[in-house]
Amino acid sequence: MVHPAHFWVDKTVLVAGATGFLGGWLIRALLQQGAKIVSIVRRPRDQSQVSLRRLLGQTTVEKGSVYDGDFIKGLFDRHAVDVFFHAAYGSDVNRVLEEPLECFRSSVESTWLILDTIRQRRPSCISVISSSDKAYGTQPLPYRESGGLTPMHPYEVAKASQDLAAQSFGKIYDLRVAVTRCGNFFGPYDFNFTRLMPSACRSLANGESPVLRSDGLATRDFVYIEDAVEAQMLLARRLAEDPTLNWEAFNFSYGAPIEVREILRRISALSGKNLEPVLTDSVRSEIRHMHLSSEKAARLLRWKPRVGLNEGLRRTVDWYANYFQGGSDLGTSELAFVRQSRT
């Protein structure tokens, strides 16, 4: 067994979704562990951690689309990929309703294509596919991996299809692939201001009450982004050690569902503003209550979150407060984006 501290040294790791929230944190962690990273970038995104911290310059950038067959085949011809992380396409519900086909292409079509390319060109490659807790749809709580997937919303269907495609390829072609189904990510460097926590932190920084698209009574299960990244990397390492984990799906969350309005109250209190959220109840087609069991990950992977909800919230609120104040740890490009974000 390779010691975790040395596993990633000189491994060639392909990251799809490099300019996204999860992808940026993955690249940051992998660089710290000594990996050689190949980043798939469809189009540059200044509003991303990899751009603001200039992390892309420390990787090999491949410009193209995850569902472009010629591009993907050429990429695997150029690089002997050891580990592949699929972190493309985030969970912006409104964006999916506006462009459902793009969601299916980026999630499902890309997974079939890349895993088929791995089957033909790099069958020893370890693949970790990021599905979502949304793939479960509406069913009895808590969600367990042994339960079925009952999606309805286009995003839910896309993630469930991606999830099943990954498991199918693994089982039929004996690939080293597994799936993660995580609770709601949160943490620094999330620049999607349609999402709960970035939006709330920006409002509070401006002295305004956070605005909710719902009545605030829906419950969500959360996981801090660094805990989520460690879970992804742990799963890849364990796949290298234990072939019985191939084709499996794993939940990762804190297993502590909280009302959305309560999360906002905690954020407001941590910010020192103590402003009550404004409830609008304008949301469409979202699951009312979500709760994951991570017992399987704890038992088979020995996963235990290092940060946790309370500390994660504190880190998140502190980072955004510093960010919107133009803190001294921010670079010139970040400070420029702060000015844009305030408008």
Strand partners, 127: 84, 177
Q: Are 178 and 246 in contact (CB under 8 A)?
A: yes
Tokens of 271: 């910010």
Q: Distance between CA atoms of 265 and 262, rounded to whole angstroms?
A: 5
SS3 call for 207: coil
**Residue whose C-alpha is closest to residue 123's, from 73, 178, 174:** 174
Based on the residue annotation, tell me whether 155 is a catalytic residue of this protein. Answer: yes
Q: What is residue 298's DSSP assignment? A: I
Q: From the candidates 136, 155, 224, 254, which is the catalytic residue?
A: 155
Strand partners, 182: 252
The secondary structure of 210-247 as a DSSP string is -EESS-S--EE-EEEHHHHHHHHHHHHHHHHH-GGGTT
Torsion of CA 283, 284, 290, 294, to 10 degrees: -100
Hey, what amino acid is at 50?
V
Q: Distance between CA atoms of 210 and 97, rounded to whole angstroms?
A: 23
Q: Distance between CA atoms of 137 and 131, rounded to whole angstroms?
A: 12
Q: Are 178 and 128 in contact (CB under 8 A)?
A: yes
SS3 call for 83: strand
Q: Are 299 and 244 in contact (CB under 8 A)?
A: no
Torsion of CA 117, 120, 123, 129, to 10 degrees: 20
Q: Which residues are catalytic?
A: 155
